[in-house]
Amino acid sequence: MSVDSQYYRHAGRLSLARSVSARARNNVFKLFMRQIVPRQDMTILDIGSSDEEGPETNMLEQLYPWPGQITGAGLGQGLEFSKRYASRYVQIEAGKPLPFPDKTFDVVWSNAVLEHVGGPNERGAFISEVRRVARRAFIIVPNRWFPIEHHTAIPFLHWCAPLFRRLLRGTAMDFWTHPHNMDFLSRHSLSLEFPQAKAMYAGFRLGPLSSNLVLIF
């Protein structure tokens, strides 16, 4: 079992959730290509690359036309990642500075990481590091107002975060009840934390109930 397998073990348990997730991923990637307009010579750091292989993981590597320009970065050793993709991989530590000089990359891509780094202070530190090592950034997170919670596939309960945490505490999904493991983020909350970013609805588009949010720096 890889170090980040816990982040995917409950995802995609329902066929409807898998279908929605696939459509959301494709839409997010298309938005990335429209907003960033990458060139073949641009370098990309993917923060959140995983040794878990499946439809929910390593979206950029699966879809990007120039995977050799991607450097993967994740908590695991990257052994399976390196076997499958033509991309370089660097192991990083949670809460620690990224092991790259300033402006090493043209773009940082990070999918489904920001909600797991901790509270506002930790998110601020994460984004500061992202902006230090790259000229632009494309940060994707689940939208807390999407009807299905991304990590547990439970509908609606997460709309009331205290109730979600109380009812699931001590169950097989206890991991998701701790704010330092998963926080619930909205476009409004992210706009307040990062007013310098463009905050957009993305993924499976339902207006304020869309599946994902994107921050573009």
Tell how far CA 213 is from the center of its chain. 10
Phi, psi of 134 (to 5 degrees): -140, 155
Distance CA 71, CA 113 (A): 16
CATH code of 174's domain: 3.40.50.150
Strand duo 88-91 + 70-74: pairing: parallel
- Let me know: does 212 contact 36? Beta carbons within 8 Å: no
SS3 79: helix
Which amino acid, 96? K
pLDDT per residue as tens digits for the range 74-90: 999 998 888 888 679 99
The predicted-structure confidence for 53-74, as pLDDT tens digits, reads as follows 766 689 999 999 999 999 999 9
What does pTM read for this prediction?
Answer: 0.89
Instruction: Categorize the per-residue pLDDT at 211 as very low, low, confident or very high, splitting at 50, 70 and 90.
Output: very high
Per the structure, how many domains does the chain have? Answer: 1
**Helix intervals (H) in the chain:** 15-36, 59-63, 79-84, 120-133, 161-168, 187-193
- The residue whose two tokens read 């995802």 is 11
Residue-range definition of the domain harbouring residue 57: 5-216
Confidence class of residue 4 from pLDDT cuts 50, 70 and 90? Answer: low
